[in-house]
Structure 1
């Protein structure tokens, strides 16, 4: 019965720790940019896989999230924009964060003397991304990311936020799967990361997971399954590990593989950039779905 994000959503990333200077094309912010509706394809532009369902786009993935409504039957916003970003490259709160000290990092970002992030409790999402050398409470063992809202007693405002960690050095087999595989499964081969960075490509799906849940359950009182709102099962939790048709158990489902470099992905963004993002629960069909489904 709680609110969902029906007005234009602005995502404010906070880059915490050391992020190597990457060319903009490899920037982990990219999946967010690709939620903007795609321009119409140019008929003269050669598509490498004309038979490969070109509608399998990041914005088509977001269409499933948009099916959720608030009590007035308003759908979740179609527009997700990248807002102001903050770099916290000097580890303002150290290299080991707890769930509570994450809120201190967000407070520092919105109260900073230079270029503070705008405070937008109604439609802002604050996305804390920690670099590979930052330890976070429950990271790797239980979670690869989570979302919640800030406490006015700490931050001064109730702001929906998510944290996602770069697992490249701490636990790629659990948080960057399938681009890295757990050591306890012998003979399992990792898939090739579509953007060439195991840690960042692994974060992409977790970012998608958390943003979908933030949009549908920003204050943890809207859309979730199960009896316990303090440990809710949300729209992406229901589809954990499912990335394509037939997915379930240890099978990820039917994915696409690029014939040129062997990279595995299930959706395409602007400019042909490829991503692997898990599916989310479709409230109309009552099962997990995504834009690369074979039965659409």
Structure 2
């Protein structure tokens, strides 16, 4: 893996893989493909690779200019993942489905996700247009700067790169809303699992922040008419949170692209969140997100979080039920 030849081979595999890893996230809502009903035919298999069973130390890289309120909303979602005291159905309950996945030793995905550090790349160290590969250079910068760098944690570190709404990323909005992979030693020095998610608020909210915005050319009303309200006030951030959840579920169960996925080709897998894109509640399908709750203002949500927060997060594939599932499911 550390040889030049092998590194370039990995680059090729990376680009091929990432071209499809989040393909389902950009389907128009009228083309929703999901497995909300139970299925014994889905070929979801464990391919013997490692999963994230050790407590996760999460590090955020805020790339670009960020509104403090938006950062607080995202932090609260991340804090909610390990908060068992929040009322059901909760973000914590949602994570328990991911925890059902095990490795060859029978060890489960960790219950502990701790936000251990943040780095603010407010100077856009690699510009306002990022390629897929340059995301890794952004991570390298965050651990290499002289002033308050992030730690290089190759044992149980997970790095989350979040780009502000004025940053363009290769294939963002067109093919991906977020992706996960692992860093190349030739770029970062070690192999680290990471994920990237972009803020679609001004670029493509109808693609990456649905159902808080209509997809373009959907034939649906323009403006805010009949749009589901965002529980924390900003469609772009609400969309990011669901994509962050999507990527955390997948990077935990398939960090090196050799663990849990469906299909025979690791360069084009269907992972546990890909199988449930567009599913937020019971009865989802055909553009209907499913039965979710409404707050006093009529904003949609399906999970409770810390500090009274509410979130709308997509379901994931439950390996026991063999269907998409979330804690707000109606029996």
Q: TM-score of the superposition, structure 2-length normalised?
A: 0.82
1:147 is aligned to 180
Q: Deviations over 1:89-128 (max 9, x none)?
A: 0000000000001110000011111111112223211000
What secondary structure sits across from 1:249 in the alignment?
coil
- Unaligned segments of structure 2, at least 5 residues: 1-47
| Residue 63 (structure 2) pairs with residue 10 (structure 1) | no
Q: CA deviation at 1:23?
A: 7.4
1:273 is aligned to 309
What secondary structure sits across from 2:117 in the alignment?
coil
Identify which of 291, 299, 302 aligns with 1:263.
299
**Are the structure 2 counterparts of residues 34 and 113 from structure 1 closer, same or farther at C-alpha, using a change threshold of 3 Å?**
same
Task: Spell out the pairing of 1:73-112 with structure 2 (5 A cutoff).
Answer: 73-112=106-145
Question: For the residues of structure 1 that align with 2:55 and 2:216, how far apart are their CA atoms?
Answer: 42
Question: For the residues of structure 2 that align with 1:195 and 1:134, how far apart are their CA atoms?
Answer: 22
Q: TM-score of the superposition, structure 1-length normalised?
A: 0.92
Q: Tell whether the 8 Å contact from 2:281 to 2:315 is kept in structure 1 after alignment.
A: yes
Q: Tell whether the 8 Å contact from 2:76 to 2:306 is kept in structure 1 after alignment.
A: no
Question: For the residues of structure 2 that align with 1:142 and 1:23, how far apart are their CA atoms?
Answer: 24
Q: Tell whether the 8 Å contact from 1:146 to 1:164 is kept in structure 2 after alignment.
A: yes
Identify which of 253, 257, 261 aligns with 1:216.
253
Runs of 4+ in 1 over 4 A off after TM superposition: none
What secondary structure sits across from 1:62 in the alignment?
helix
Q: CA deviation at 1:70?
A: 0.7
2:19 is aligned to none
| Residue 162 (structure 2) pairs with residue 116 (structure 1) | no
Question: For the residues of structure 1 that align with 2:242 and 2:75, how far apart are their CA atoms?
Answer: 12
1:62 is aligned to 95
- Unaligned segments of structure 1, at least 5 residues: 41-53
2:23 is aligned to none
Q: Which structure's residues are more often helix, by fraction? A: 2
What secondary structure sits across from 2:162 in the alignment?
strand
Q: Tell whether the 8 Å contact from 2:214 to 2:220 is kept in structure 1 after alignment.
A: no
Question: For the residues of structure 1 that align with 2:220 and 2:269, how far apart are their CA atoms?
Answer: 35
1:35 is aligned to 81
What secondary structure sits across from 1:33 in the alignment?
helix
1 or 2 for the larger relative contact order (CA 8 Å, sep ≥6)? Answer: 2
Q: CA deviation at 1:135?
A: 0.4
* Matched positions, count: 280
| Residue 214 (structure 2) pairs with residue 181 (structure 1) | yes
**Are the structure 2 counterparts of residues 108 and 60 from structure 1 closer, same or farther at C-alpha, using a change threshold of 3 Å?**
same
